[in-house]
A and B are shown apart, each in its own frame.
Chain A
Amino acid sequence: MWRLNPSLEVLPCGDSAFLVELPELTAVVAYYRGLTGAGASAGVSAPQGIIDVVPAARTVLVTFDPETIRPFEVRDWLESAEPAEGISGSGREVTIEVSYGGPDLAEAAQFLGMSEDEMVKLHTGSEWTAAFSGFAPGFVYLVTTHERLRVPRRNTPRTAVPAGSVGLAGEFSGVYPRSSPGGWQLIGTTTAALWDASKAEPALIRPGDLVRFVEA
């Protein structure tokens, strides 16, 4: 099925990659899921020769091996991909148990004008989608369908955020896979290993996955 997606721009990126630009993050998530089938039961489906498909805030980077697939074939694949419906949908689901009560829970709830309980209910009751990775292996930026949990970053980032910290920043929620500096508002902790290098699939959450938080 050929369908040119008018909101998508394919930019050259050297001789073995294209950068697809989209209008906003929800379009990126839908396009990425449509392109790769990520989250669908069929798993990732990309033509032979595609190496990486990397979603980000407004773009999807696609790298390929020019000895296996020709640039115009990659471009055709990118331009004919159907975005998956909406930001949510059925697919691979990851549940993360959280002990709420992080150092910024009270302040974040106050900022949002709700009680801590209400905030926890909203965080656990929302369906989150893994939009893209970055910052550290296993760290995934999670987005949801509403804006009621938007909080600013901390004015002064912490020099060390413990591994397993669950945070909020802007439109995102996320879990720190390892101890690192960070400026997110910390609302809880999980014992789940977000990144386990000894496993064949070291990342607990991959872009395109659906994520639910539950109270531990």
Chain B
Amino acid sequence: MGIVVVYPGPLTLVEDLGRQGWASLGLSPSGALDRQSLRLANLLAGNPVQAAGLEILLGGLRLRFVTASTVAVAGAEGIVTLNGAEIPLNQAVRVAPGAVLDFGAPLFGLRYYLAVQGGIDAPKLLGSSSTDMLSGEGPAPLTSGVQLGIGHVSAGNGLVSGAGSVPGQGVGPGAGPGTGTLSNAHALPPIRRAPDPGRAITARVDRGPRADWFDDHSWRRLVSQEWTLSPDSNRIGARLVGRPLTQTRLEELPSEGMVLGALQVPPSGLPTVFLADHPVTGGYPVIAVVRRTDLDLLGQARPGQRIRFLG
């Protein structure tokens, strides 16, 4: 039943839109780093936006479908094949029983999102099946041989019609993808191209609670220079390399609540942007906060990618 993980790739996780509202218990929001792409993939597959899908870092994932399904891939852009034939991204695709889906290394962006009609069936914690890499809560990262169940959620809004009722034998192996019929295409979020790794991405920032702990030049330095994403980055934080910011108030900051997108600045002066699995509290001053809608882009930034902040 469901889907067999043949190879998991470097890191493939079950993610949905996360579990907001539990920070007072010490729990990160977690969820897809590029939420817009997961939403899009879900809508294309006929799911509610919050259904659980897979977040596939850097490709390398191979899945074998035991049962027929409809899937959609969004987010990163690279070569994804079904039984060896390339499938279109950002479209519903029929998958026959026994079919093998392979994710190549992304050419643009970093994380693919795969939605499967019905959603990935995984245990829920506080309403969400998301894996939280900081606390270790949620389903374990995928490993070879694991079987994934397919759930029964449906959008119930008529967004995708027909896709679920097409019998599996309609699409034979290698016959190429079928496409779900969109009856309500305007409800889909716009397809946003994954960022080009050779170009800078831009994220808007607002003042953080401790902006006045830094000298006057620091804000200008924050928004005028191009930062580089460090390879140490992960789902917890995007670490940045550049000309350091200078803190003028040097007393110790008692740990305080941290928001998603907080630019926390340790004594090195090099900020970390807090992503979905961030610690709920932290002891370094926050100079700025990245707008939530722009965090999706940071989730697709590759190590070495240049990042500009607009504030």
Chain B residues 265 to 311 lying within 8 A of chain A, measured CB to CB, are: 279-281, 286, 288-292
Which residues of chain A have C-beta atoms less than 8 A from B208's C-beta? 12-14
Smallest distance from the beta carbon of A175 to chain B beta carbons, Å? 13
In addition to A54-B257, A134-B280, 5 A-B residue pairs with Cβ atoms within 8 Å of each other are A12-B207, A13-B259, A56-B254, A59-B254, A138-B25
Bound complex: CA A19 to CA B264 (Å) = 14
Q: Per-residue CB proximity of A129-153 to B under 8 Å, as 1/0? A: 0001111111110000000000000
Task: State which of B25, B288, B291 has its C-beta within 8 Å of the C-beta of A203.
Answer: B25
Which residues of chain A have C-beta atoms less than 8 A from B206's C-beta? 12, 14-15
Which residues of chain B have C-beta atoms less than 8 A from A59's C-beta? 254, 256-257
The answer to whether the Cβ of A81 comes within 8 Å of any Cβ in the partner chain is no
The answer to whether the Cβ of B162 comes within 8 Å of any Cβ in the partner chain is no
Bound complex: CA A15 to CA B262 (Å) = 11
Which residues of chain A have C-beta atoms less than 8 A from B185's C-beta? none
Residue of A53, A63, A138, A140 with most partner-chain B CB within 10 A: A63
Which residues of chain B have C-beta atoms less than 8 A from A63's C-beta? 23, 259
Which residues of chain B have C-beta atoms less than 8 A from A140's C-beta? 26
Q: Is the CB of A56 within 8 A of B261?
A: no
Per DSSP, chain A at the interface is strand
Q: Is the CB of A134 within 8 A of B256?
A: no
Bound complex: CA A52 to CA B19 (Å) = 11
5 A-B Cβ contacts within 8 A?
A: A11-B209, A13-B208, A56-B254, A59-B256, A61-B256
Per DSSP, chain B at the interface is loop
Task: State which of A15, A17, A58, A134 has its C-beta within 8 Å of the C-beta of B26.
Answer: A134
Given A13-B259, A137-B25, verify A58-B254 contact (CB < 8 Å): yes
Bound complex: CA A11 to CA B290 (Å) = 16
Chain B residues 56 to 76 lying within 8 A of chain A, measured CB to CB, are: none
Nearest residue in B to A24 (C-beta to C-beta)? B254
Q: Is the CB of A56 within 8 A of B289?
A: no
Given A13-B209, A136-B135, verify A57-B25 contact (CB < 8 Å): no
Interface size class on chain B is 35 or more
Which residues of chain A have C-beta atoms less than 8 A from B24's C-beta? 52-55, 132-133, 206-207
Interface size class on chain A is 20 to 34
The answer to whether the Cβ of B20 comes within 8 Å of any Cβ in the partner chain is yes
The answer to whether the Cβ of B21 comes within 8 Å of any Cβ in the partner chain is yes
The answer to whether the Cβ of A114 comes within 8 Å of any Cβ in the partner chain is no
Bound complex: CA A112 to CA B144 (Å) = 54
Q: Is the CB of B257 within 8 A of A51?
A: no
Bound complex: CA A137 to CA B30 (Å) = 13
Nearest residue in A to B286 (C-beta to C-beta)? A13
Task: State which of B209, B281, B286 has its C-beta within 8 Å of the C-beta of A54.
Answer: B281
Task: State which of A15, A16, A51, A137 has its C-beta within 8 Å of the C-beta of B135.
Answer: A137
Chain A residues 62 to 84 lying within 8 A of chain B, measured CB to CB, are: 63
Q: Is the CB of A15 within 8 A of B281?
A: no
The answer to whether the Cβ of A60 comes within 8 Å of any Cβ in the partner chain is yes
Q: Per-residue CB proximity of B5-24 to A under 8 Å, as 1/0? A: 00000000000000011111
Chain A residues 178 to 216 lying within 8 A of chain B, measured CB to CB, are: 197, 202-203, 206-207
Bound complex: CA A52 to CA B29 (Å) = 10
